[in-house]
Amino acid sequence: MKNIDAMYLERMLMKFDFIYAATLLKALADPVRTRIMHILSCGEVCVCELQQYFEITQSTLSHHLSILKKADLITTRKEGTWNYYSVKGDTVKDLSRILDEIFIPGSECLCHKIPNHLPC
């Protein structure tokens, strides 16, 4: 039988979506993708304009954009033959919240629930 502290800790771990957090962070774990996000933070950009910021092939850029899109960090809009990319605001808000939950200790910090653990 589990003790009350262990059960509470388990509930807290289930409350935080570690898989979602890891997916977002993994998508940003490349300098090219982080730079893409930085550029897109200024507003929507055509892929042809985005290409100017990098010394990589169009297919490599498309690969990085695909990873960011799969992680739901960016959105795309097609106009004629061009694709326009922009940051997906809701997901970026999620990312900000996730980083706060991971790195800023608070009353809900898991370390506060572990017996004999020094507080953050």
Domains recognised in the chain with CATH numbers: 4-113 (1.10.10.10)
Q: What is the pLDDT of residue 103?
A: 79
Q: Could you read off the pLDDT of 8-67 as tens digits, one per residue? A: 555 555 566 778 888 989 999 999 999 999 999 999 999 999 999 999 999 999 999 999
Q: What is the pLDDT of residue 7?
A: 56
Q: Could you read off the pLDDT of 64-108 as tens digits, one per residue? A: 999 999 999 999 999 999 999 999 988 888 888 888 877 777 656
Which phi and psi (to 5°) does residue 27 adopt?
-65, -30
The DSSP secondary-structure symbol of 53 reads: T
pLDDT at residue 2 greater than cutoff 70:
no
Residues 35, 54: Cα–Cα separation, whole Å: 9
Q: Which two tokens stand for residue 12?
A: 């807290």
